[in-house]
Structure 1
Amino acid sequence: MKLNCFVVDDEPLARKGLKEYIGDVDFLQFAGEADSPLKATEQVSSGNVHLLFLDIQMPKITGLQFFSSLQQAPPVIFTTAYPQYALDGFELNALDYLVKPISFDRFLKAALRAKEYYDVRTQNQQQDSAANYLFIKVDGKLVKIFYDDILYVEALQNYVTVHTKEKKYITYLTFHSIEEFLPQNLFIKAHKSYLVAISKIESIEGACICIGQHALPISRNLKDQVMEKLVNNRLLKR
C-alpha cells in the first residue's frame, strides 16, 4: 500500500523539498500540495489523504489551528522551523515533528513511523474482522456497543455521537477514526458528518436517508457513491 501524502506549507522551497523526499520513498505517493491551509481543507478532509505534512507558522491560520479544526483529520507530521511547538504538535497526536531544515534521514524515520502506524492498524482490523462490537469511552468508563445496535454515527466538532436503538453515546473521538474502524460492508458514509448503518436504512427520499424518525442528509459529492452501494442492482423496475 502506498500512502497518499499531501503537503501544506507557505514556502515554495519547503514544498519542493518534501515533494522530492516523498518521491524517493517507495511506499509514499505525492497526492498534492497547498501554500495555505485555507486552500487545503477540502482535499485534506476528503478521506483520500493518508499522511499530511503540515507547516505550523503560516499567515492567517497556523497549522496547529488548522489541524484542530478538521473533523476528518488524517495522520499528521508537522514541519516547522520552530522546535518550541513540538509539545503542541504531539498533544494533537501527531505521528512526528520535523524541524527545518529537514534531512532525508530524519524524513525517512518519520515516514517509517507512518508506515508502521498503518501496518499495525491494518493488522488490528484483520484480527478484529470477526468481532461484532466496539468499545468507546463515555464519562470515564468503557462502553461496549454491538454493531447491530448502531443506527448512525454523527460528528460533532471534536466529539462523535453514536446513536443506537436505545440511546446515544457522546465520546471524544475523531469521526475519521471511527469511520476507519467500523466495517465498510455494514456502514456507509453518506455525509461528511454522518456514518449510517446500512441494515437500518428504511428509505431514501431525495437527498435524505431515513431511519425511523431520523432524516440524515446525503452529501452531493457522495450521492452517486451512496446510491451505487445501497441500490445498485437491487432496484426493481417494471
Structure 2
Amino acid sequence: MIRCIAIDDEPLALRQIEGYIDKTPFLELTGKFNSALKAMDFLQENEVDLMFVDINMPDLTGLDFVKSVSSKAKVIFTTAYREYGYEGFQLDAADYLVKPIAYPEFLKAVTKTKERFFSKKEAAETIEKNDKYLFIKSEYKIVRIDFNDITFIESMRDYVRIHLETQKPVMALMGIKKMEDFLPKADFMRVHRSFIVSRSKISTIERNRIIFGKDYIPVSEQYKDVFQEFLDTRFLK
C-alpha cells in the first residue's frame, strides 16, 4: 500500500483527491491538509510515500513546500496553471496534473508512479512458504497465513483478498496467479479467473456456485470441467 497525503487550499479540490485516493486500491490516505504549513507539521512525525501537492497556495506555495521539506516521498503536483509544469519537474516531481482532474488521468499518473518508484516495494511479496502456511506482507505487516484457515481467495485488480475462517480477510498486493502458484495444488483449485477455493472447505454448491456463508463463488466455463472432475471423484450416487 502506498501511503499518501493530499494538500490543497481549495476544499472541493481536496475532497476530489481524497475521493480518488479512496477508490484506488493501492493507495492509502494518511492525511489531508488545507495548507502546506499543516502538512509540514505532520511530516515531522509521520512518513509517507506519495504527496499530492497543489502549487498555488497562500502563505507557502506547493513548490516552496517541496523545496523545504526533507521527506523522501514522491510528489505529484496538482494545479490549474500549466506554466508551473517545468519548475515542478525540475524538483523531480513524479507527475503533474492540471485541474480539473478526471479520475482516468489521476489513475494513469499514480499507476505510472507506482510502477516507476514502488515496484521494489511490493507489499505482498511472499517471503517464506512450506506445505502448511506462508508469510506475506500486508499493509507493512508480516502476516502468517495457515493454509487450513483459508476458505477462498478473491482477485481485486492488483490485490488479492484472502478470506479466512478465524479472522477478517487479509489484503495483499499480489496477482492471483502468483498466489495460485504458491498454494498446494492438492488443497486449492482455481474455479474462476477471480477466485481460488479451498477444496476441503467446499460444502454447498448451487447452480454452478460454491457457497461460503453469504459469499457465492461462481464456477466459470473455463474451469467447469476441472471442477466437475473434482466432484465426480467424490460424488456418491
Could you state the TM-score of these two structures normalised by the residue count of structure 2? Answer: 0.49
Could you state the TM-score of these two structures normalised by the residue count of structure 1? Answer: 0.49
